Amino acid sequence: MKIVVAVAGVLDSKWPIELDAEGVPRIAADRTVMSPFDESALEIALRLRDVDPANAVAAIVPNEKIARMVAAFRIEDIAILDLPFGVACDPSGAAEVLAGAIPGDAGLVLMGREFGDCDDGAVPPLVAARFGLPFFARVQDVRTGPALLREAQAEEESVILAAPMLCSVTNDRRNRLRKPLMKNVMAARAARFRAAPPSAPMAVRFERFDRVADARRPVACRMAEGTPAEIAAIFAEHLLASAVS
Amino acid sequence: MTSWRIVALAPTEADGCNWRAAGDSARAIAAATGLDFELLLIGAVLPEGDGWPGLSRCTLARNSARLETAAQFASVAAALLDASPTTLIVVPPGPFGEDIAADLAVRIGGKALGRASSVTLGDEELRVTRPAFGGRAEISLRYPEGPATVALRGARVEEASVPMPAPVILDIEAPSPELAIERTAIAGRKTPLEGARLVVSGGRGLDEAGFALIEGIADALGGAVGGSLPAVDAGLVAVSRQVGQSGKFVTPELYLAVGLSGTPQHLAGIGPATRLIAINNDPAAPIFTYAELGAVADAREVLPPLRDLLVAEAGPVR
């Protein structure tokens, strides 16, 4: 089976968000990293390859820096899909372009539950719907079968990996991305990558960017002091007085 | 101005999907432009509850079998909605509602606006503001037309309640699920985050013993346990209990944050009207800026007596 991992990449949070002359965020490739969700999706793909070496893993990545990070896991088929901010900021636009880059013979498409800095989870189900693939959201683990597993409020839900499908993957201690072998990191430095089809112009218009300094209103904080028992008593009184029992 | 048709869409029985939140969001958008809105519920029975001012029509699509996937709900909604370029469909905020919105947008040839912090309807256009960069920024986008689907976070409607209009009930044939999902009950699962009046949440500043203590506190008061993304990453709490930008959006009356620094990404998952109280050993932790009661203390020393006091006062652990 061909497994395709779509890696979005995000701006490394240690860098400020810079704007171009028109006020549009400008994200330098060398300041991007894989998000925790990207890493989890990649790890699930690697585990499925571990289970059955016949599972070939391919990847779609945003730039050459992340391509080399992914190639260090012995993934050779890597396409670079450059999503301009004006496209990436629109979930439907990003999904349309991404769907165009996914090979038609993919048996499983894996993506982080959020696709990049502007997505809040809409892009994976949009791609699945555009591609006509069944969608299983927020996968956390792989089980024998192989089956993909997630936890809901009171139930564990799983699907056997059989027909072509698209899954989003969420962060979980069980799918933390492994470290690549140093020899593979060195080999990835010489790897070459292909470009995915270019983006189409979108109808949405980017209007404004605002930094969020304080999304929440500050309040005066009454500080409880004393021994741990005294602090506990103050908090207990507050909790009980709030009539939340 | 363009006469927009606004429809609140929600499953009535899906986990983590609050149908009233869809109604609140639709009412907030409609009221800002002086429009009415409709309510389309999909489920086996009509849930009890008041209506909203401006709610012109309530429809229950009554399914013959349990619907399991977002695609099934989207399929039913697409068949019933007859969406036009001036239709805006509003779903409950939360992962499942947002999955439905995305699938539905493709089925009706529209746009998925994602999870918005504001939506403004104009003349042949709609504007949406969404958080980006992990809550560090907001971006504003303008769409020339619909139809569109959106989840609006944090809408609060504080109006006199009105009776729910008599519902139109449509019996529907449940579409087949596109996936065979096997379900196994997880033993010992407690109060869900959605709808909880108290959330007791822990961050990376806690260990496993600390999470056991906050669970005891939540149990004593009938509250729900939450956690931050780093706590989920560390395996201290299930991802289904993650609160924040990339987790659940919760609106309890009171939120006890323990060992949580108060990053914008975490605070983005807490409703603006929720009151915070916090325990953290770092006096410079941003969480104290937003908390009405705080303590700079070692949670390992404060939590045991706090749990014991609450159990003694509120009754045995449930």
pLDDT tens sequence across A34-69: 999 999 999 999 999 999 999 999 999 999 999 999
β-bridge partners, B201: B226, B257
Residues in B closer than 8 angstroms to A94, CB to CB, are none
Residues in A closer than 8 angstroms to B97, CB to CB, are none
Average confidence (pLDDT) over A204-216: 71
Listed residue (B209, B170, B162) closest to B59, CA to CA: B170
- Residue B277: per-residue pLDDT: 97
Choose the closest CB to B95 out of A90, A137, A207.
A137
| CB-count exposure of residue A155 (10 Å: 0-12, 13-18, 19+) | middle
- Residue A214: per-residue pLDDT: 61
β-bridge partners, B108: none
- Residue A199: per-residue pLDDT: 62
- Residue B271: per-residue pLDDT: 82
Question: CB neighbours of A192 closer than 8 A, spacing ≥ 6?
Answer: none
> Is the distance from CB of A233 to CB of B302 less than 8 angstroms?
no
- Residue A90: per-residue pLDDT: 92
- Residue A89: per-residue pLDDT: 92
- Residue A198: per-residue pLDDT: 67
Q: Which residue in this structure is represented by tokens 């606004």?
A: B6
Phi-psi region of A124 (alpha: psi -120 to 50; beta: other; left: phi over 0): alpha
- Residue A102: per-residue pLDDT: 93
Residues in A closer than 8 angstroms to B101, CB to CB, are 122
Average confidence (pLDDT) over B201-226: 94
| Cα of B4 to nearest chain A Cα, Å | 19
Q: Compute the mean pLDDT over every residue in chain B, rounded to the nearest whole number.
A: 91
- Residue A213: per-residue pLDDT: 62
Say if residue B318's pLDDT is above 70: no
Say if residue B124's pLDDT is above 90: no
List strand residue ranges (DSSP E) for A98-169, in order: 108-112, 135-139, 141-143, 147-151, 155-160, 165-169
Using pLDDT thresholds of 50, 70 and 90, give the confidence band for residue A245: very low
Q: Would you call A120 and B130 a contact, using CB atoms and an 8 Å cutoff?
A: yes
Q: What is the rounded CA–CA span in Å between residue B23 and residue B37?
A: 9
Q: Would you call B295 and A220 a contact, using CB atoms and an 8 Å cutoff?
A: no
Sheet holding B118-122, edge to edge: A205-211, B137-143, B125-132, B118-122
More confident residue, B190 or A187: A187
* Of the candidate ranges B34-38, B193-197, B277-281, the one whose mean pLDDT is the lowest: B193-197
- Residue B160: per-residue pLDDT: 79
Choose the closest CB to B114 out of A120, A152, A157.
A120
Whole-model pTM: value is 0.87
More confident residue, A110 or B17: A110
Question: What percent of chain A shows pLDDT beyond 90?
Answer: 74
Please give the single-letter amino acid code of residue B7: V
- Residue B211: per-residue pLDDT: 96
Using pLDDT thresholds of 50, 70 and 90, give the confidence band for residue A201: low
**Coil, strand, or helix at residue A78?**
strand
Other C-beta atoms closer than 10 Å to the C-beta of B52 total: 24
- Residue B135: per-residue pLDDT: 80
Please give the single-letter amino acid code of residue A102: I
| pLDDT 10s digits, B77-100 | 999 999 999 999 999 988 899 999
Average confidence (pLDDT) over A135-164: 90
More confident residue, A215 or B51: B51
Q: What is the rounded CA–CA span in Å between residue B114 and residue B94?
A: 11
Say if residue A29's pLDDT is above 90: yes
H/E run at residue A57: strand A56-61
Q: What is the rounded CA–CA span in Å between residue B192 and residue B16?
A: 8
Going by the DSSP 8-state scheme, the letter that residue A210 receives in this structure is E
Q: Would you call B305 and A229 a contact, using CB atoms and an 8 Å cutoff?
A: yes
Using pLDDT thresholds of 50, 70 and 90, give the confidence band for residue A74: very high
Rounded to the nearest 5 percent, the helix, strand and coil shares of chain A are 30, 25, 45
- Residue B276: per-residue pLDDT: 96
Q: Is A120 on the interface with B (CB under 8 A)?
A: yes
- Residue A202: per-residue pLDDT: 59
Going by the DSSP 8-state scheme, the letter that residue A225 receives in this structure is -
Say if residue A200's pLDDT is above 70: no
> Is the distance from CB of B208 to CB of B252 less than 8 angstroms?
no
More confident residue, B191 or A21: A21
Say if residue B33's pLDDT is above 70: yes
> Is the distance from CB of B264 to CB of A206 less than 8 angstroms?
no
Q: Would you call A153 and B309 a contact, using CB atoms and an 8 Å cutoff?
A: no
Say if residue B104's pLDDT is above 90: yes
Q: In three state form, how does the secondary structure of chain B look?
A: CCCCEEEEEEECCCCCCCHHHHHHHHHHHHHHHCCCEEEEEEECCCCCCCECCCEEEEEEEEECCCCCCHHHHHHHHHHHHCCCCCEEEEECCCHHHHHHHHHHHHHCCCEEEEEECEEEEECCEEEEEEEEHHHCEEEEEEECCCCEEEEECCCCCCCCCECCCCCEEEEECCCCCCCCCEEEECCCCCCCCCCCCEEEEECCCCCHHHHHHHHHHHHHHCCEEEECHHHHHCCCCCHHHEECCCCECECCCEEEEECCCCCHHHHCCECCCCEEEEEECCCCCCHHHHEEEEEECCHHHHHHHHHHHHHHHHCCCC
Q: Would you call B306 and A236 a contact, using CB atoms and an 8 Å cutoff?
A: yes
Structure-token pair, residue B271: 């409703």
Using pLDDT thresholds of 50, 70 and 90, give the confidence band for residue B64: confident
Q: Would you call A153 and B232 a contact, using CB atoms and an 8 Å cutoff?
A: no
| pLDDT 10s digits, B159-194 | 778 999 999 999 999 899 999 999 998 776 677 887
